[in-house]
Structure 1
Amino acid sequence: MQYFKHRVALALFAALSLGSLSAQAYEQDKTYKITILHTNDHHGHFWRNDYGEYGLAAQKTLVDGIRKEVAAEGGSVLLLSGGDINTGVPESDLQDAEPDFRGMNLIGYDAMAVGNHEFDNPLSVLRQQEKWAKFPFLSANIYQKSTGERLFKPWALFKRGGLKIAVIGLTTDDTAKIGNPEYFTDIEFRKP
């Protein structure tokens, strides 16, 4: 079920991002080449495991290669994360995922939707992670109950290849049901 929700969020993410293209002025008979790369459910796996899976170094090599290939064809790349960087392995968990966010900076992520596992820790940890990250954390449907204000930017705007692309972040409203309730006393996860 969670896998399905991530895919629905990704589809919505992409549809809203690409949907903004039609509202812009564009050159007739011109092809715009945009490649959107997406990852999610990283869960602290910043190094390669015994099976050759994971690893931010390998991911950087792959992403750099794709960027080079896309640029050679006159295109642009947008690199997004669906979140869930937290909660996976002690090497990451004991450092509040700092190695993961610093690695994501080196790879060149453009934005991250806040995942449910970002709330496996107190909000103060998530705010520190935002400081480590050189990209925005997005969620249009997380609010502070006491003020009614959003806790994160709902969207970010990127310019790629002469186009403006809006990216909207959404977080599953099931987060409050599956996480630690002591971290949600003043947080509301609204249905997208």
Structure 2
Amino acid sequence: MDLRRLTILHSNDIHGDFFAKENHDNLVGGISMLSGYIHKVREKEENPVLYVISGDMLQGSIIDQEYKGISTILVMNMLEPDVVTLGNHELDYGLAHLMFLERCANFPIVNANLYIKPTETNLFKPYHILEIDGIRILFIGIITEEVIAKSKSEPLIGSFICIEEAAREVEYICNSYKDIDIDLTVLLTHIGFDQDLLLAQLLPKEIGVDLIIGGHSHTILEQPAQQNDILIAQVGSGTDQIGRFDLQINMDTNSIHDFSWQTIPINDQHCPHDPVMDELLNNYQAEIDGKYNTVICRLPRELEHGSRFRETELGNLFADILNYQLGVDIVMLASGSIRKTTLP
């Protein structure tokens, strides 16, 4: 039996979580220590190591917003992901700007369900095949319907509008390469954990999908779900943790012989800082502070925004500000646009 080992590290919904946070006596998260961990694993492991991202690199940080995602893509370039799929927030700056960001990326971005209607041409590569240490891996990207809804404002852009059609597209791609010796097939999705489960149910076993590495629902798992012999994983959001698959691949049957998976905490107990990344991020932060780090008022007490699903003091404050500034009768504020839980 020809068994090969492969490690896949994965993130999703990073959302501009660039800087570490203090948690008791530890530093937790941040791109610098995430980069340090990824590079440490790549250097120490004897078996090949891949790093993938399942969408939503953008938004969540003023550094991202100030540079319309260009800063984030440059940061991601330093993380050196092997393949990435789109999330809904990748379209926040518009489709044309997203195409520009793709040109800035030093890594492949895959998506199988956005295309140009008249010619049925994919906007992005629908899949990417990597060969490493003799292991041939097929990555396919699938995106959430939220992006589909946004793209409908572009009359020449279409998409597969339901999970059933996405499943058929995955089947079509897999069947197109059935004569090639694909050893591992991985779907990078940004459709949410429940939809990942449904997608796995809809996929015929004979097309050989092995893994779904997902995003969008910010789901934390103790162990990967298994549906229709497909392993499904997701690793919350931000940079406080990273997912890790250690796989044994049966090269004779093109399937996973054995695996382990864990959520690795990103903290200063075992993750070195990346000094080059620190320098880049500190330069961005200095530019942002020079422009925005000004006290405009002080609150008599801390205001909270502890949940997106109820009225909060911080939400009311922002709604009142918009109401006063714009002179409108009703303000409807997207709760998720408030990224912090408190304002001191």
TM-score (norm 1): 0.74
C-alpha distance 50-97 of structure 1, shift in aligned 2 (>3 A): farther
> 1:189: how far off?
2.8
CA contact (8 A) 2:84 2:109 kept: yes
Identity %, equivalent residues? 28
C-alpha distance 95-49 of structure 1, shift in aligned 2 (>3 A): farther
Q: After the TM superposition, which of the residue ranges 34-43 and 141-150 deviates more from structure 2?
A: 141-150
> 1:174: how far off?
3.3
- Name 2:249's counterpart in structure 1: none
Q: Distance in 2 between matches of 1:175 and 1:92?
A: 19
Instruction: Give the 3-state SS of the residue equivalent to 1:65 in structure 2.
Output: helix
Does 2:70 align with 1:102? no
User: Which runs of 5 or more structure 2 residues have no equivalent in the other structure?
Assistant: 167-344
Q: Distance in 1 between matches of 2:145 and 2:159?
A: 5
Does 2:72 align with 1:77? no
Q: Distance in 1 between matches of 2:20 and 2:70?
A: 17
- Name 2:19's counterpart in structure 1: 47
Tell me which amino acid in the other structure corresponds to 2:159.
F
> 1:68: how far off?
2.4
Matches within 5 A, 1:1-192: 29-49=1-21, 52-71=27-46, 75-177=47-149, 179=150, 182=153, 184-190=154-160, 191=162, 192=166
CA contact (8 A) 2:95 2:151 kept: no
> 1:59: how far off?
0.8
Instruction: Give the 3-state SS of the residue equivalent to 1:104 in structure 2.
Output: helix
> 1:186: how far off?
3.0
Tell me which amino acid in the other structure corresponds to 1:173.
E
> 1:107: how far off?
1.8
> 1:142: how far off?
0.8
Q: Distance in 2 between matches of 1:83 and 1:146?
A: 27
Q: Distance in 2 between matches of 1:65 and 1:146?
A: 47
Tell me which amino acid in the other structure corresponds to 1:33.
R
User: Which runs of 5 or more structure 1 residues have no equivalent in the other structure?
Assistant: 1-28
1:46-74 residue CA offsets vs partner (Å, 9 max, x unmatched)? 23245544322111111112212322xxx
> 1:147: how far off?
3.0
CA contact (8 A) 1:67 1:76 kept: yes
Looking at secondary structure, tell me which structure has more helix per residue: 1
CA contact (8 A) 1:85 1:100 kept: yes
Q: Distance in 2 between matches of 1:86 and 1:53?
A: 20
Tell me which amino acid in the other structure corresponds to 2:156.
D
Q: Distance in 1 between matches of 2:108 and 2:64?
A: 20
> 1:38: how far off?
1.1
Aligned length: 159
C-alpha distance 124-40 of structure 1, shift in aligned 2 (>3 A): same
- Name 2:244's counterpart in structure 1: none
TM-score (norm 2): 0.43
Tell me which amino acid in the other structure corresponds to 1:113.
T
C-alpha distance 32-146 of structure 1, shift in aligned 2 (>3 A): same
Higher-Rg member (1/2): 2
Tell me which amino acid in the other structure corresponds to 2:50.
L
Looking at secondary structure, tell me which structure has more strand per residue: 2
